Each structure stands twice: as structure tokens, then as C-alpha cells.
């Protein structure tokens, strides 16, 4: 069963990026579509966590809500960044940046959690630097500076949001001895949905005739995929598999699925250096989790 959980976790990790890609390709040119997409993703994730929360002997501690509010803000920031990055850059490169949240959490651990700095971690960090250079060194006939800037801002929102969410979740679990995990996620996605709702109501609405209502299913699937990813991660943490095994496997699996999807379905063309960068990045993720 643990290996089934691992495969499903990798697939659902990739699904949010894939669903964002499909929706973006179909509706990316529609004005003011982003707030609607983000509202549907966050609301679906909230519903998913609400079901898990109320089905599993719900617990409550008001102090958890402080962590949840912060988590919700960064969760909303991450999904906003994901949509913008995928809409302005390569899906495979965005997926790679998404998986680099491991680095931020590792660096935070070295500074604040007194995590030992080992040789494999040092090698992993050096490989990440090399992978970033290979993936993002200037390409001939590349995108305009304005487009690259929009992608960079979105990618950094995605990366920063993911890192902050992981750090906050770790602090919450440390503070409450591993309790109230479902309460945190349900409350956090509820706060994120409120943020997305406020931004949706404030912004102009996309013309109804400019997009197909059927495409609204994609962000809903993406939101529930986010919930299922976390669920299978929890199950893996309770399984005999070591975190040093399943975390890199999950990250590499998700990166592989997303990259293959972007190449086979949307015909993204990666240069040789970008392929090498993704390969080096995958190896780096293994070293960072040894």
C-alpha cells in the first residue's frame, strides 16, 4: 500500500499544475479570468478538507487559527503565482520551481531548527545551483523581457508561498505535538477561499460568453487534487517508508508527469540544457532528502 500512496501522491501533486495548464490554454486570453480560477481552486480544496475534518473526529484549538490565517494567505499567494507562471512561461520549468520548496524548508531548518548540515545536503544545494543555470540560462529567440518578468514574479510567488506553507505547517505540528492537522488545513483553505473571494468580487468579472462553463471543472479538479495530495502525504508519513525516500520520489514523480504532459500534449520544446537541468534537479532533490 505505501507504494500505491506514493504513486497517487505524485500524480495528485502534478494534477494541480496540469489542471492549471489546461484551463490556462483554453481561457488564458479571457480578461479577468484568474480570480475566478483561484476562487474555484481554493474553494474546492476547502470543501475537500472540510469533508476530511468532519469525518475524522474533529478537534479544535483557537490558537491553530493563527497558523491557519497565515497559511491561508500564503496558499492563496501560491495558487495565484502558479496560474500566472503557467500562463506566461513553460509548464515544465514552472513545475521544477514548484518542487524547489524543499530547498527553502531545508535552509530554514538549518537556521532555526538546528538541522545538521550534511555532505549530501551540501551536494544537493550545489546541484540545484547548476540545475537552475542549465534551465534558465538565456536562450536564443527567447521570450520578451516583459513576459519573462511576469513569469519570474509568478514563479517566485509560487515558490515563496509553498515554502511558507511548509514551514508554517511544520511549526504548527511542533507546537501542538502533531495534533489538529486537519483543523489547520480546513481553516487555512477556508481563509484562502475568503481571500480569493474578496479579490474575485473586487475585480471585474470575465464575460460569460468568452469561456466555456465546462472548463470550470479543471480548477475544481485541481483543488480536490491538492487535498488528496496532502491526504496521501499524511498516509505516507504513517507508513514504513522513510521520508528521505518518499519525498524525493514524490517530487521527481510529479515533475516527470508534468513535464511529459507539457511535452506530449502541448508540444513544449525544451533545449538540451533544460533537459539536463531537469535531470540534475531531480538528482539534487534526492540528495536534499538523504
pLDDT at 290: 64
Q: What is the DSSP letter of 142?
A: -
CA distance 251 to 278: 12
Predicted confidence at residue 239, as pLDDT, reads: 79
Which residues are CB-contacts of 250 (< 8 A; sequence separation ≥ 6)?
Answer: 6, 9, 10, 13, 233, 236
Q: In 56-180, where does DSSP find H-type helix?
A: 64-88, 91-99, 101-112, 119-136, 145-175
- What is the per-residue pLDDT for 164? 93
What residues contact 205, with CB distance under 8 A and at least 6 apart? 32, 36
Q: Give pLDDT, residue 140.
A: 57
Give the span between the Cα atoms of 290 and 272, in whole angstroms: 28
Buried/exposed 166-178: b ≥16 CB within 10 Å, e otherwise: bbbbebbeeebee
The grid coordinates listed for 47 are 470543501
Distance CA 5, CA 231 (A): 9
Q: What local confidence, expressed as pLDDT, does residue 114 receive?
A: 78
pTM check: above 0.85 = yes
Collect all residues with Cβ–Cβ distance below 8 Å to 46 and sequence separation of at least 6. Answer: 186, 189, 190, 192, 193, 223
- pLDDT value of residue 289: 67
**How far is residue 28's CA from residue 162's CA, in Å, rounded to a whole number?**
23
Mean pLDDT for back-to-back runs of 10 residues, the chain (290 residues) = 87 91 85 91 96 88 95 96 90 88 78 81 87 77 74 94 90 88 94 96 81 89 92 80 74 88 87 89 79
Domain segments of the chain: what residues? 2-109+144-243
Amino acid at each position: 500500500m505505501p507504494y500505491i500512496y506514493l504513486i497517487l501522491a505524485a500524480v495528485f501533486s502534478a494534477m494541480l499544475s496540469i489542471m492549471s495548464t489546461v484551463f490556462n490554454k483554453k481561457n488564458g486570453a479571457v480578461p479577468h479570468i484568474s480570480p475566478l480560477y483561484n476562487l474555484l481552486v481554493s474553494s474546492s480544496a476547502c470543501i475537500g478538507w472540510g469533508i476530511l475534518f468532519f469525518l475524522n473526529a474533529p478537534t479544535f484549538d483557537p490558537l491553530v487559527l493563527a497558523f491557519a490565517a497565515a497559511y491561508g494567505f500564503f496558499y492563496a499567494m501560491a495558487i495565484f503565482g502558479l496560474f500566472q507562471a503557467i500562463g506566461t512561461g513553460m509548464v515544465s520549468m514552472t513545475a521544477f520551481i514548484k518542487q524547489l520548496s524543499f530547498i527553502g524548508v531545508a535552509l530554514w531548518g538549518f537556521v532555526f531548527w538546528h538541522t545538521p548540515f550534511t555532505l549530501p545536503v551540501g551536494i544537493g544545494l550545489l546541484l540545484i545551483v547548476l540545475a537552475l543555470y542549465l534551465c534558465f540560462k538565456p536562450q536564443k529567440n527567447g521570450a520578451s523581457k516583459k513576459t519573462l518578468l511576469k513569469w519570474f514574479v509568478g514563479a517566485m510567488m509560487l515558490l515563496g508561498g509553498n515554502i511558507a506553507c511548509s514551514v508554517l505547517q511544520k511549526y504548527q505540528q511542533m507546537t501542538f505535538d502533531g495534533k489538529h492537522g486537519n483543523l489547520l488545513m480546513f481553516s487555512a483553505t477556508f481563509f484562502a477561499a475568503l481571500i480569493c473571494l474578496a479579490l474575485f468580487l473586487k475585480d471585474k468579472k470575465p464575460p460569460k460568453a468568452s469561456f466555456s462553463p465546462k472548463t470550470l471543472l479543471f480548477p475544481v479538479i485541481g483543488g480536490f487534487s491538492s487535498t488528496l495530495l496532502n491526504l496521501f502525504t499524511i498516509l505516507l508519513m504513517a507508513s514504513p517508508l522513510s521520508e528521505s525516500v518518499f519525498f524525493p520520489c514524490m517530487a521527481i514523480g510529479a515533475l516527470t508527469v508534468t513535464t511529459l504532459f507539457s511535452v506530449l500534449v502541448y508540444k513544449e520544446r525544451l533545449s538540451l540544457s533544460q533537459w539536463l537541468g531537469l535531470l540534475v534537479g531531480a538528482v539534487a532533490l534526492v540528495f536534499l532528502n538523504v
